């Protein structure tokens, strides 16, 4: 495979491996955060695969349900899918990487049989406590056969933000093919490389992301697993995502014009030209300087600065810029599983929201900028009117 450089963010620890207080004396493993692009198929991908088993361990701490924006997104999706595909109590829905049941709870509520597959133990237990049937394992071609044998084939397979997180996406897609009924539909979502490049969203690059797809590069991959892309939607979630609908290659589903429209927009942006990818990292050093200068100036002026949202975005950005507690003393988060731990690498402590309120900051940096409106509307009523909210990357922006 002929790979060339796309973006080099230096070295960083795993972005979601938050450090508990008792491990502060221990050394963390830092891995290169280098992204390459394949000259032949133009798939943007990490160079050094870290085993998925090392990332999605029993103490992996991403719980989908702590974002109300994401819950609403899931509920809307389920309601539309029930209508579009006439799902009822005779149907069967499978979600790959079902997390804490954030989506399947709405399927179950509608009386539709469903099954979740989730490798992280802690999150799958939470889903089971909601009454959802979960297999605690990594999805694979082999597992798909076992599921069909035990439960039958699926009318709808959902895989949100999972295909970017696996080192062998073709194996997953072949499994989806096995899982689907002839009339079945699969819906997959992932962060769009077009959006990553347009917004220069370097803080959405982490080791957990093995691949960054365009519709063009994903369509090729799907076809190799005998699946066809029948529709696509461009979404705002996670800072610009694609939701792609797939069927078996021999299905009678019509292909929407949106598929060729999105591919045309990718061509217009130059995503079929390797030189567009070569140029991506030209300006990323400017992002680093802007972040540091903004925070140094705030410190000079004696302003109190705090962070909000101990997301992977925070970890990537802080470790790339080298910002530590001397510029941001802590980051508040409302997820109890994160409070009391530390951001990997830079070791900035994570506190609960009450502590942020008590601190009376002048500036609050929102790291998960994809849910900034949710954060501002939750925090504003509890803070002084003079507090200003900022986003640091890809440029420093005052948020309203």
Residue 276 lies inside a defined structural domain of this protein: no
Residue 18 lies inside a defined structural domain of this protein: no
pLDDT of residue 306: 98
Do 255 and 341 fall into the same domain?
no
Segment 243-272 shows an average pLDDT of 95
CATH number of the domain to which 105 belongs: 3.40.50.150
Residue 263 lies inside a defined structural domain of this protein: yes
Residue 45 lies inside a defined structural domain of this protein: no
Q: Is the pLDDT of residue 2 over 70?
A: yes
pLDDT digits (tens, 9 = 90+) for 319-340: 999 999 999 999 999 999 999 9
Percent of the chain whose pLDDT exceeds 70: 94
Q: Is the pLDDT of residue 60 over 50?
A: no
Residue 77 lies inside a defined structural domain of this protein: yes
Residue 125 lies inside a defined structural domain of this protein: yes
Do 302 and 250 fall into the same domain?
no
**Contacting residues for 106 by C-beta, under 8 A, at least 6 apart:** 74, 75, 78, 79
User: Which of 246, 271, 296 represents a domain boundary (last residue)?
Assistant: 271
pLDDT of residue 76: 93
CATH number of the domain to which 315 belongs: 3.40.50.720
Q: Is the pLDDT of residue 378 over 90?
A: yes
**What mean pLDDT value characterizes the chain?**
92
Do 105 and 144 fall into the same domain?
yes
Q: Which band of pLDDT confidence, cut at 50, 70 and 90, is reported for residue 290?
A: very high
Domain total of the chain: 2
Do 289 and 172 fall into the same domain?
no
pLDDT of residue 16: 82
Nearest to 191 by CA among 172, 211, 167: 211
Q: Is the pLDDT of residue 159 over 90?
A: yes
Pairwise CA distance, residues 232 & 82, whole Å: 18
Do 262 and 294 fall into the same domain?
no
pTM of the model: 0.83
User: Which of 271, 305, 338 represents a domain boundary (last residue)?
Assistant: 271
Do 259 and 310 fall into the same domain?
no
Compute the C-alpha angle 322/328/330, nearest 5°.
120
pLDDT of residue 61: 47
Segment 120-132 shows an average pLDDT of 92
pLDDT of residue 341: 97
Q: Which band of pLDDT confidence, cut at 50, 70 and 90, is reported for residue 385?
A: very high
Segment 134-162 shows an average pLDDT of 96
DSSP per residue, 111-153? T--EEEE-S-HHHHHHHHHTT--EE-S---HHHHHHHHHHH--
pLDDT of residue 46: 86
Do 250 and 327 fall into the same domain?
no
The residue written with tokens 């009376």 in the block is: 360
Read off the tokens for 77. 């999706």
Do 158 and 219 fall into the same domain?
yes
Domain extent, residue 225, equals: 52-271
Segment 140-165 shows an average pLDDT of 95
Nearest to 37 by CA among 59, 6, 65: 6
Do 174 and 83 fall into the same domain?
yes
User: Which of 271, 305, 337 represents a domain boundary (last residue)?
Assistant: 271
Residue 367 lies inside a defined structural domain of this protein: yes
């Amino acid at each position: 495979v002929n790979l060339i450089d796309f973006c080099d963010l230096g070295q960083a620890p795993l972005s979601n491996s938050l450090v508990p207080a008792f491990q502060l004396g221990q050394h963390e493993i830092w891995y290169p955060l280098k992204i390459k692009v394949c000259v032949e198929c133009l798939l943007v991908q990490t160079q050094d695969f870290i085993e998925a088993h090392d990332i999605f361990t029993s103490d992996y701490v991403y719980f989908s349900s702590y974002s109300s924006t994401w819950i609403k997104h899931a509920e809307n999706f389920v309601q539309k899918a029930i209508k579009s595909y006439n799902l009822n109590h005779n149907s069967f829905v499978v979600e790959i990487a079902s997390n804490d049941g954030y989506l399947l709870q709405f399927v179950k509520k509608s009386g539709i049989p469903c099954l979740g597959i989730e490798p992280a133990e802690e999150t799958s237990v939470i889903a089971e406590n909601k009454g959802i049937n979960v297999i605690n394992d990594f999805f694979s071609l082999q597992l798909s056969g076992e599921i069909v044998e035990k439960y039958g084939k699926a009318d709808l397979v959902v895989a949100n933000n999972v295909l970017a997180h696996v080192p062998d996406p073709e194996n997953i897609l072949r499994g989806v093919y096995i899982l689907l009924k002839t009339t079945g539909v699969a819906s997959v979502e992932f962060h769009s490389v077009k959006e990553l490049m347009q917004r220069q969203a370097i803080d959405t690059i982490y080791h957990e992301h093995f691949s960054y797809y365009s519709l063009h590069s994903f369509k090729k991959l799907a076809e190799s697993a005998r699946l066809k892309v029948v529709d696509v939607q461009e979404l705002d979630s996670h800072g610009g995502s694609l939701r792609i609908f797939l069927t078996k290659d021999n299905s009678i589903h019509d292909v929407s014009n949106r598929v060729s429209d999105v591919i045309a927009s990718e061509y217009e942006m130059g995503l079929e030209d390797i030189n567009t990818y070569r140029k991506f990292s030209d300006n990323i050093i400017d992002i680093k300087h802007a972040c540091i200068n903004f925070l140094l100036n705030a410190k000079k002026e004696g302003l109190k600065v705090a962070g909000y949202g101990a997301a992977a975005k925070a970890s990537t950005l802080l470790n790339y810029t080298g910002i530590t507690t001397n510029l941001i003393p802590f980051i508040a988060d409302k997820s109890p599983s994160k409070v009391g731990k530390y951001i990997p690498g830079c070791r900035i402590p994570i506190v609960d929201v009450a502590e942020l309120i008590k601190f009376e900051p002048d500036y609050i940096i929102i790291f998960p900028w994809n849910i900034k409106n949710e954060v501002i509307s939750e925090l504003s009523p509890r803070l002084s009117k003079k507090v200003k909210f900022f986003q640091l990357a890809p440029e420093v922006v005052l948020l309203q």
